[in-house]
Each structure stands twice: as C-alpha cells, then as structure tokens.
Structure 1
Amino acid sequence: MNAYRLKPMNFPWPPFLYGTAILVAFAIHRVAGLPTPHVNATIGWCVGILLIAASGWLYIWAIATRTKIRMPRRAAKHLVTHGPYRYSRNPIYLSYTLLTMGIGLLTSNAWFFVMATLAAIVTTMIVIRREEMHLLARFGVEFEKYCKRTRRWI
C-alpha cells in the first residue's frame, strides 16, 4: 500500500483502547484482585489527582495547539512541532496513559498500571506506527528530523 495515501484510521482506536483498559482493570480487580503495595492512601490519592490534572492539562494543551493551526481530523496538512509536540510526538496518547495511571492511584488498583502499559503498547503497534508512516511519506526529511529531536512518548 502506498504510505502517502495511508491516512490515520477512521476509528478512534486510542480512546477505545484506553476506555477498554479502564473497564478491564476494574473488572479484573473486582474478580481477581491484586495485592497492592502498602502506600499511604493520602499520598496515593494526591499523586493520582496530580496525574489526572496533568493529563487534563496536557490534553487541552495538545488540542488547543492543533486547533490554532486548524489541524484536520484526517490526513495531516501541517507537521505540528510546537506546544506539547516539542516534548512528545504523541501528547494526547500520553495524556490517556497518565489518566489511566492516575485513576489507578485514586482507586488503589494496580491493574490500572498493567492495563495502561498494555494500552500504550497496543496504541503504538496499531495507531502510532501507521500515523508515523503517513507523516514520513507526507513530510519526509522534516519528519525524520522531528523524530530525532522529539521522543515518541516522553
């Protein structure tokens, strides 16, 4: 298949994957449980709130950055390299991961960390690699330079 014609997927895989991960984490914890390390509940709760707040802030910042340049939902017309995209090539997916981990700390459910890791791996395999092929075909050397100076996640 021509990588230039390859467009980002129509189905919103990352929200689906992370939503499923959250539901599975709750379900597994309810059925099987998992011994959780003893952490001061107040500290876990505070760190969880901080992760969720950081997730929300990162998500809003990434969406605002894309909105300013009128980024389409389909094929990329611009390579976004400013805002949170200076630090991560996938700040929205990173925000989903932080949100999942934050919920895990709030609920003292270690399965959230397992599921967040699995969701990040599957997102990389199914979504990110396809998006990166599209961006490489579309922007070539400019995208390669961006990849060298900016990490995929953090």
Structure 2
Amino acid sequence: MSTRDHPGVIAPPPLIYLGFLLAGYGVGQLVSEPSLGLNVDLRRGLAFTLVIGGLLLDGIAAGTFRRLGTPPEPWKPTTALATGGLYKYSRNPIYVGFGITYAGFALAMDSPVALALLVPCLIVIDRFVIAREETYLSAKFGAEYQAYKGKVRRWL
C-alpha cells in the first residue's frame, strides 16, 4: 500500500452506479428495449419506494460516519471505524442503499437493460471499491477491523 491515506478506489462509487444506470438506459433506448411489463402505477409506486428507501438507508449510514467525525467518502482519510447503527448488519450499507436506489430509478425508467446492469455494477463495486476499502481498513485499524469483518457480512 502506498503512503496515501485513503483506499484508492477506482472512481467515486455514486458515479459508478450512475454510469451503469445511464449506460443501461442509453443502450435500452438504442435497441428499443421492451417494457418491464408492470402496471404503470405499480411500477411508479415501487420505484418511488425503492428510491426513497435507498436514499434513507444512505442518509442513515452516512450519518453514522458524521457522528464519528469521519468522512463517508472513500477518497478521503478514514479516522474512525464505523461498527454501530446499520454497520452492525452490513459493512457496506451505503452501497446497499445505492443499489436499492439504482433499482428504483431503473424501474422508474422502465428499463430492463438498466436493471440488468445492476449486477455487473455491484461486481465492480465489490471488486474495485469494497476490496480496496477492506485492504485500507485492515492496514489502518488492524485487529479491530479484522474482528469486525469476522462478525459482520460484507453486503447483507
């Protein structure tokens, strides 16, 4: 690991999610993708619920970082290990929230291609963001992070 005090993620995670979402929507428009086949009111209601739920999850998880006085952004130095609140159930509740929000927007756009691209998006987040964060947190917090990692799952 270099002397920089951050994980060195490949890109800001919100931009990764947004990039996949927009790519999926764009490809879908180019190939005249079919509809998801859901009733419009049901689709909109479900989309709204997912977007609001995902954003609430993100806000609550980011609030944990702020209460600890450490930035939630992975391109900034981490000064404290978040293990309480939602972090008792998932080591990455913000990324779970981003995924839920993404699914909601894909539903709102009625885009099966965008929805399908959530899977490779999550793989990129897992391999090129979370894996780097875990290496960084292991080096920074040592046994404390290893114990936490042994008790709490990466995603859910």
TM superposition score normalised by structure 1: 0.87
Q: Give a deviation string over 1:42-86, Cα, whole Å, max 9, x none.
A: 222211111101111011111111111110452322110012211
The reply to whether residue 103 of structure 1 matches residue 102 of structure 2 is no
Is 1:32 aligned with 2:34? Answer: no
1:138 is aligned to 140
| RMSD between aligned residues | 2.1
Identity fraction in percent: 28
Contact 1:36 1:109 in 2 (8 A): yes
Looking at structure 1, the residues matched to 55 and 98 of structure 2 have their Cα atoms a distance apart, in angstroms, of 9
Query: Which residue is equivalent to 1:149?
Result: 151
Aligned-partner SS, 2:117? helix
Encode CA deviations 1:68-120: one digit per residue, 9 max, x unaligned: 11104523221100122112111111121111100111222112222222111
CA spacing shift, 1:44–1:35, aligned 2, 3 Å:
same
Matching of residue 120 in structure 1 with residue 134 in structure 2: no
Q: Which residue of 2 aligns with 1:16?
A: 15
8 Å Cα contact 1:5-1:134 kept in structure 2: no
Describe the SS at the equivalent of 1:15.
helix
The whole-number CA distance in structure 1 between the counterparts of 2:89 and 2:109 is 29
Unpaired stretches in structure 2, ≥5 consecutive residues? none
Following the alignment from structure 2 to structure 1, what is the Cα–Cα distance between the partners of residues 5 and 129?
12
Number of positions where the alignment pairs a residue of Structure 1 with one of Structure 2: 153
Q: Distance in 2 between matches of 1:145 and 1:44?
A: 42
Letter matched to residue 6 of structure 2: K
Secondary structure of 1:29's partner?
Answer: helix
Matched residues in 1 for 2:9 and 2:45: separation?
Answer: 37
Report if the CA contact (8 A) 2:28-2:114 is conserved. Answer: no
> How far does residue 138 in structure 1 lie from its aligned partner after superposition?
1.8
Stretch of structure 1 that moved more, 28-37 or 98-107: 28-37
**Greater Cα shift, 109-118 or 62-71:** 109-118
SS of equivalent residue, structure 1 residue 140: helix
Paired with 2:32 and 2:144, the residues of 1 have a C-alpha distance of 48
Amino acid across the alignment from 2:144: E
Secondary structure at the residue paired with 2:90? Answer: coil
Partners in 2 of 1:45 and 1:62 — Cα distance? Answer: 26
TM-score after normalising by structure 2: 0.86
